[in-house]
Amino acid sequence: MQDLLKKVAKKTEGSEFYNYIPEGYTPGKTKYIIITGSVISGVGKGTFSSCLGSMLRLFNSYEIVPLKFECYVNYDSGTLNPFRHGEVFVLDDGTETDLDLGTYERMLNKNLTKSSFVTMGKVFKTIIDKERAGDYLGRDVEFIPHVTGEIKNFARKLALKSKSDIVLIEIGGTVGEIQNSIYLEAMRELAYEEGRENVCFINVTYVLQPNSLGEQKSKAAQLGIKALMSIGIQPDIIVCRSENPITDKIKEKISIYSNVPVSRTIGFHDTRNIYKFPLTLKEKGIDCAIFDILNLKPGQPHSDIKDWKNLLTKIDSPKKQLTIGIAGKYTNVHDSYMSILKALEHTAPYSNASINIKWIETMDIETGKTSVEEAMKDIDGMIVPGGFGKRGAEGKIACIKYLRENNIPYLGLCFGFQMAVIEYARNVCNIQEANSTEIEPDCKDPVIDILPEQKEIEGLGGNMRLGSYPAILTKGSKIFSLYNQEKIDERHRHRYEVNNKYLEILEKNGLIFSGKSPKGSLMEFLELPNHKFFIGTQAHPCFKSKPTSPSPVFHGFIKAALEHSN
């Protein structure tokens, strides 16, 4: 196989191969698990992939790195509307990705880089840039071998850079779509070049159960798998997602149709507790099948497994239910706030609490359809999350005013931090026309404004603070007591900041900016000292919250909500 890779690595004009094999890359040193989906989109490939990686890491100490191949032609996820695609997740290095990368980070307990997220737009840009530079030696640039070659190059470079035992590749979309066909072809080529003992294909399919029939039907799953096989990919393992446990009859039908043994045709029905999923995978023996396919040996349990099992014990113990309000404008698409929901979900058990979400549509408050009092009824705390634009902003400000005046725990994230500053400026500092230039560009008192150095930058993503930035916390403040350290790092995704011209009057009237950038020019955290919990942050601490190491901000918020409830 090494001789084959040496041959395909040649950049000669007459060669029909096109691959850049990274210097130092050794075939077989890194194994690849490639996960595809069939029948329907949203079948749970990302959840399954992350839990599979978690299981291999926790029970065998394998070093796992994920790679998501996304089908859309956008260069990244930054300009995608949350109504259409859910949350935009931000990595430490500032890469804007889809929400699956958040699931990977949480389940693998590691921070990822831009190398783990590739869109078709990124692939095409790489190819065009190389073509313009003459890197293709005058050849006509084609989907095969050039586009597939670049896709394989992303996978191999990640394997080499990460020094991982296994690269876990998720192919976005569904088998049979035009959008992901070139990714699938690249993965077929990868298996051919690396050797089948180094590549494992897993297809996540869906077994339908129409209400009108009351029984499970496997034909759609069979046809989806057949479509995968027709392009030259033989799955090694079939994962059958379903609403209810699949029957042995269904397993047998899918097995004989796909050339996959019944023992490797595994059913996974809907479950509410994702954190148990890695253990369920272990119980079903999927790791043994993977070891056999990839010629791997079982490893030793990771030290993190104790903390993981401790979390499961806490989840299963009796808990006090809290009602937490989330006031936003994407409340009909819950995936738009995925990281917030997960941070609440995995943080609450550490305080013997469980979370019930009350979705508050701020446009209803803004238009008078719902009163603030009605919206705030029975909540134990509220979050105003990040967002952009004017829609629903006044409704958020009205909610924040009610929470401040009624001493109800409040957590403002990014846009929620900015709205808290506006509310305080208007109603405490008596700056009646206080606003943000994002909402009202010509407002008289722009307490929130875009930084002067950002105003000349063009493009929606180019003028934002993206990625992890440091903050220096004030000793003796509430936020310092939560982090218990002076310098912290959290991830950002915003372009507007507190206008320093108004700092003096805001602080004189009691608003404390308890976290600032290292040079002191950017306000990172605010709090009210005599309030149960009133904290805002320009960052998104939910992005770095992990199941076994919850965000200190969310931990403090839930603890305050629990005290308020009691």
15 is a domain residue: no
Are 288 and 325 in the same domain? no
For residue 418, pLDDT beyond 70: yes
C-alpha 182: how far from chain center: 24
Residue where a domain terminates, one of 305, 325, 340: 305
| Nearest Cα residue to 532 out of 506, 557, 508 | 557
- Amino acid code (one letter) for 104: Y
| Burial label, 554 (beta-carbon count in 10 A; 0-12, 13-18, 19+) | buried
Q: Tell which wins on pLDDT, 333 or 227.
A: 227
* pLDDT(237) > 70: yes
Tokens linked to 49: 């992939």
Give the CA distances from residue 123 to residues 71, 74, 113, 181, 205, in Å, rounded to whole numbers and listed in that order.
10, 10, 17, 14, 27
> Tens of pLDDT along 427-440?
999 999 999 999 99
Residue 13 lies in a domain: no
Selection from 353, 364, 356, 282 nearest residue 320 by Cα: 353
Contact 473, 525 (CB under 8 A): yes
Of residues 92 and 458, more confidently modeled: 92
pLDDT of residue 331 exceeding 80? no
Mean pLDDT, residues 258-263: 94
Q: Which residues, listed in sequence order, are joined to residue 538 by a DSSP beta bridge?
A: none
CA proximity to 557, closest of 377, 422, 403: 403
CA distance 247 to 244: 9
The per-residue pLDDT for 7 is: 52
- Highest-confidence range of 17-26, 111-120, 242-251, 381-390, by mean pLDDT? 111-120
Distance between CA atoms of 501 and 61, rounded to whole angstroms?
A: 52
What is the DSSP track for 468-517? EEEEEEPTTSHHHHHH-SSEEEEEEEESEEE-GGGHHHHHHTT-EEEEE-
* Share above pLDDT 90 across residues of the chain, in percent, rounded to a whole number: 74
Mean pLDDT of 416-421: 97
Q: Cα(561)–Cα(240) distance, rounded to whole angstroms?
A: 40
Asked if the structure places residue 468 within a domain, the reply is: yes
List pLDDT tens digits, range 152-173: 999 999 999 999 999 999 999 9
Q: For 296-310, what is each residue's pLDDT tens digit?
A: 999 999 999 999 999
What the block records as the tokens of 44 is 């749970």
Name 538's Cβ contacts closer than 8 Å, sequence gap at least 6: 414, 417, 418, 492, 494, 497, 498, 522, 523, 524, 525
Beta bridge partners of 88: 98
Neighbours of 346 (CB within 10 A): 23
- Among 277, 305, 333, identify where a domain stops: 305
pLDDT for position 249 = 92
346 with 234, same domain: the answer is no
Please report whether residue 137 resides in a domain: yes
CA distance 225 to 259: 10
Domain presence at residue 531: yes
Asked if the model's pLDDT at residue 448 lies above 70, the reply is yes
pLDDT in tens, 337-355: 999 999 999 999 999 999 9
CB-based burial label for 370 (10 Å; 0-12, 13-18, 19+) = middle
**pLDDT band at 462; cut points 50, 70, 90:** low
User: Omega of the bond prior to 145 within 30 degrees of 0, cis?
Assistant: yes
Nearest to 27, CA basis, from 191, 246, 170? 191
Q: Are residues 260 and 327 in the same domain?
A: no
Residue with tokens 């394997």, as numbered in its chain: 159
Q: Could you tell me which residue, 22 or 526, shows the higher pLDDT?
A: 526
Tell me whether residue 21 is in a domain.
Answer: no
Residues 211 and 323 reside in one and the same domain: no
Domain residues for the domain of 506 are: 317-565
411 plus 462 within the same structural domain: yes
**Residues 325, 297 share a domain:** no
pLDDT of residue 12: 44
The string of DSSP codes covering 149-173 is: HHHHHHHHHHHHHHT-SEEEEEE-S
DSSP assigned state of 348: G
Residue 221 sits in a domain whose CATH number is 3.40.50.300
Count structural domains, the chain.
2
Task: Evaluate whether residue 10 is within a structural domain.
Answer: no
- Count each helix (H run) and each strand (E run) in the chain, helices first: 20, 21
Claim to verify: residue 263 and residue 355 sit in the same structural domain: no
* 3-state DSSP assignment of residue 384: strand
Q: Would you state the structure tokens that stand for residue 27, as one six-digit string?
A: 């075939």
Residue 544 is encoded by which pair of tokens? 């770095």
More confident residue, 25 or 451: 25
Which residues sit opposite 65 in a β-bridge? 167
Are 100 and 340 in contact by the 8 Å Cβ rule? The answer is no
At 513 the pLDDT is 97
**Residue environment code for 282-318, b if the CB has 16+ CB neighbours within 10 A, otherwise e:** bebebbebbbebbebeebeebebbeebeebbebbeee
What is the DSSP-derived secondary structure letter of residue 46? H
Q: Average pLDDT for residues 522-546, to the nearest whole number?
A: 96
pLDDT of residue 367: 86
Same domain membership, residue 265 and residue 116: yes
Looking at residue 546, the DSSP 8-state letter turns out to be B
Same domain, yes or no, for 361 and 293?
Answer: no
Flag whether pLDDT at 475 surpasses 80: yes
Q: Which residues pair with 353 in a beta bridge?
A: 320
For the residues 11-34, what does the mean pLDDT come to? 78
Say yes or no: 295 and 321 in one domain: no
Residue 16 inside a domain? The answer is no
Query: Which pLDDT does position 271 carry in this prediction?
Result: 78
Q: Report the half-sphere exposure of 81 (CA within 13 A, side-chain side).
A: 5
Which among 305, 328, 352 is the end of a domain? Answer: 305
CA distance 3 to 1: 5
Do both 445 and 552 map to the same domain? yes
Residue 67: its H or E element:
strand 64-70
- CATH code where residue 329 lies: 3.40.50.880
Q: Confirm if 162 and 59 have CB atoms less than 8 A apart.
A: no
For 394-427, the three-class secondary structure string (H helix, E strand, C coil) is HHHHHHHHHHHHCCCCEEEECHHHHHHHHHHHHH
In this predicted model, what pLDDT tens digit does every residue of 87-131 receive, in sequence order? 999 999 999 999 999 999 999 999 999 999 999 999 999 999 999
Polymer length of the chain = 566
What are the φ and ψ backbone dihedral angles of 353, each rounded to 5 degrees? Answer: -130, 160
The residue behind tokens 């997220």 is: 117
270 and 330, same domain (yes or no):
no
